[in-house]
């Protein structure tokens, strides 16, 4: 029988820890997390509930189900334990997430978008860039992870997000940013569309509760107000899982 919990005397000594989930089919790390007690085992048991910031398109759960369906067990590795403070566990977790490409983590590591792995020139450009000022209500979307997969700013930002489509329709401008620097500005056309394969053929399956848009690049005079400019610090919400922010007009 695979282990699904720690002996009580072990669990109390672990304190905070950072762990990896391993796919036994290829030895690949597919998820990095942090926790206490038996947290590392709860993924395979299906005991972790989706919280308000998590995305329902859970690649982690899908992969675990495929592993278990073959009669195999997820591998569990404790990467670092006896961590006294959750803040330190967050930092170690974030560094590991940066180090393992292709993870099923819904979001990057804690504050990775601000302080994660980057070339030194990117860091210089970030802190030296002038911040933008919103001239109209807009939607700001971090595309750090989706851009790595799409390699195209428009494709990375247009689909598909946990967002209220009625509220989204009120904003006629969408900004895409990576590491806090705006790299794209787009005008959605019409309604925000449900995340179905019919609307977004690149999807493997329909994803209830998420939406995307069809659009075009913003006018040049508008784009130059935002592209290559830094997202104001007040809009870079630390530790947020949802990469979508609604930005009002600056006063």
Instruction: With a cut of 60, say whether residue 194 has pLDDT above it.
Output: yes
Q: Would you state the torsion angle of the CA atoms of residues 45, 48, 50, 51, taken in this order, to the nearest 10 degrees?
A: 180
161 shares a domain with 216: yes
45 shares a domain with 135: no
* Residue whose C-alpha is closest to residue 212's, from 196, 186, 192, 191: 192
137 shares a domain with 100: no
CA pair distance 139, 119, nearest whole angstrom: 27
Structural domain includes residue 150: yes
Which residue range(s) make up the domain with 78? Answer: 8-107
Instruction: Quickly count: other Cβ atoms within 10 Å of residue 119's Cβ.
Output: 8
233 shares a domain with 133: yes
The CATH number of whichever domain residue 83 belongs to comes to 3.40.1440.10
Number of domains within the chain: 2
231 shares a domain with 178: yes
88 shares a domain with 179: no
Residues 6+ apart with CB under 8 A from 53: 240, 241, 242
Give the pLDDT score at 123: 66
132 shares a domain with 80: no
Q: How far is CA 87 from the centre of its chain?
A: 19
70 shares a domain with 185: no
- Per-residue pLDDT of 88-144, as tens digits, reads 998 899 888 878 766 766 555 445 555 556 666 666 666 778 899 999 999 999 887
Structural domain includes residue 2: no
133 shares a domain with 221: yes
Give the pLDDT score at 149: 62
- Enclosing H/E stretch for 147: helix 144-150
- Per-residue pLDDT of 16-53, as tens digits, reads 999 999 899 998 998 899 999 889 888 876 634 444 44
84 shares a domain with 27: yes
CA pair distance 164, 210, nearest whole angstrom: 9
Residues 6+ apart with CB under 8 A from 236: 113, 114, 180
For residues 232 and 221, the model is more confident at 221
- Per-residue pLDDT of 58-70, as tens digits, reads 667 778 888 888 8
Mean pLDDT of all residues in the chain?
Answer: 82
Structural domain includes residue 184: yes
- Per-residue pLDDT of 142-163, as tens digits, reads 887 666 665 789 999 998 899 9
Give the pLDDT score at 53: 41
Neighbouring-strand partners of residue 211: 161, 194
Structural domain includes residue 112: no
126 shares a domain with 93: no
pLDDT (average), residues 171-183: 91
- In the structure encoding, which two tokens stand for residue 84, read together? 């006294």
Structural domain includes residue 3: no
Give residue 85's pLDDT band: very low, low, confident or very high (50, 70, 90).
Answer: very high
Q: Given CA atoms 143, 114, 165, 204 in this order, what sign does their dihedral have?
A: positive
């Amino acid at each position: 029988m695979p282990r699904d919990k720690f002996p009580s005397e072990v669990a109390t000594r672990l304190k905070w820890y950072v762990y990896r989930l391993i796919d036994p089919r290829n030895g690949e790390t597919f998820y990095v997390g942090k926790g206490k007690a038996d947290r590392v085992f709860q993924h395979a048991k299906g005991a972790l509930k989706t919280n308000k910031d998590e995305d329902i398109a859970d690649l982690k759960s899908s992969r675990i189900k495929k592993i278990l369906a073959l009669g195999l067990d997820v591998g569990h590795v404790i990467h670092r334990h006896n961590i006294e403070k959750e803040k330190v566990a967050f930092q170690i977790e974030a560094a590991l997430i940066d180090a393992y490409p292709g993870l099923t983590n819904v979001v990057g590591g804690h504050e990775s978008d601000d302080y994660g792995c980057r070339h030194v020139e990117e860091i210089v450009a970030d802190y030296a860039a002038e911040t933008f000022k919103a001239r109209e209500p807009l939607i700001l979307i971090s595309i750090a992870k989706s851009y790595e997969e799409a390699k195209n700013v428009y494709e990375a930002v247009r689909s598909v997000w946990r967002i209220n489509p009625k509220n989204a329709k009120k904003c006629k401008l969408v900004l895409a940013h990576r590491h806090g620097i705006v790299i794209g500005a787009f005008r959605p056309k019409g309604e925000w569309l449900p995340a179905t394969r019919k609307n977004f053929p690149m999807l493997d399956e329909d994803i209830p509760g998420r939406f995307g848009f069809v659009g075009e690049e913003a006018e040049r005079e508008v784009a130059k107000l935002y592209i290559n400019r830094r997202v104001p610090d007040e809009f870079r919400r630390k530790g947020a899982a949802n990469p979508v922010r609604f930005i009002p007009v600056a006063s």
